[in-house]
Amino acid sequence: MFEENKLKIWISVFIFILMSFSFGLWGCPHYVVYEQRLNGEAELARSQYSRKVQIQDAESKLEASKSLAAAEVERAKGVAQANKIIGESLHENEAYLRWLWIEGLKEKGNDIIYIPTEAGLPILEAGKRRKKTD
């Protein structure tokens, strides 16, 4: 009886090992496929996230460039308005323009000045030029 029980135990162990081995042979390929599917899904999720980040980055650059363009347009409008005001204030105001020209000559120092004649041609200097000494 003891030998019979021992034999049943050995047979049970053998059947268990055989079933485990059979399950392993069947389960390993399925697990590999399952693992590959999970890896593929993870890679897909990473690429989708990366794509969304790139899209957000491009959209933020687009908005920034639109804002910079609008600021540049506003700056140009201000410059145009200032030029218009200056142009209107200088129109037929030759006395102020001459005064500005004379003040500019004072700041330049010993430069050679060509003064236009009635014909619109400058009087050319015939003599030697003086060298500047600093």
pLDDT at 109: 64
Task: Characterize 76-107 residue by residue with b for buried, 16 or more Cβ atoms within 10 angstroms of its Cβ, and e for exposed.
Answer: eeeeeeeeeeeeeeeeeeeeeeeeeeeeeeee
Specify if 40 maps to a domain.
yes
Specify if 64 maps to a domain.
yes
Specify if 15 maps to a domain.
yes
Specify if 130 maps to a domain.
no
What global pTM score does this model have? Answer: 0.43
Look up the domain containing 73 and give its range. 2-108
Using DSSP, state whether 116 is helix, strand or coil.
strand
pLDDT at 73: 96
What is the tally of structural domains in the chain? 1
pLDDT at 52: 95
Each residue's pLDDT tens digit, 31-76: 777 788 889 999 999 999 999 999 999 999 999 999 999 999 999 9
Q: For the chain, how many residues are written?
A: 134
**3-state helix vs strand vs coil in the chain, percent to 5:** 80, 0, 20
Specify if 99 maps to a domain.
yes
68 or 98, which is more confident:
68
Q: Rounded to the nearest 5°, which phi and psi values hold at 116? A: -70, 145
The mean predicted confidence, pLDDT, of the chain is: 81
Q: What residues contact residue 130 under an 8 Å CB cut-off, 6+ apart?
A: 110
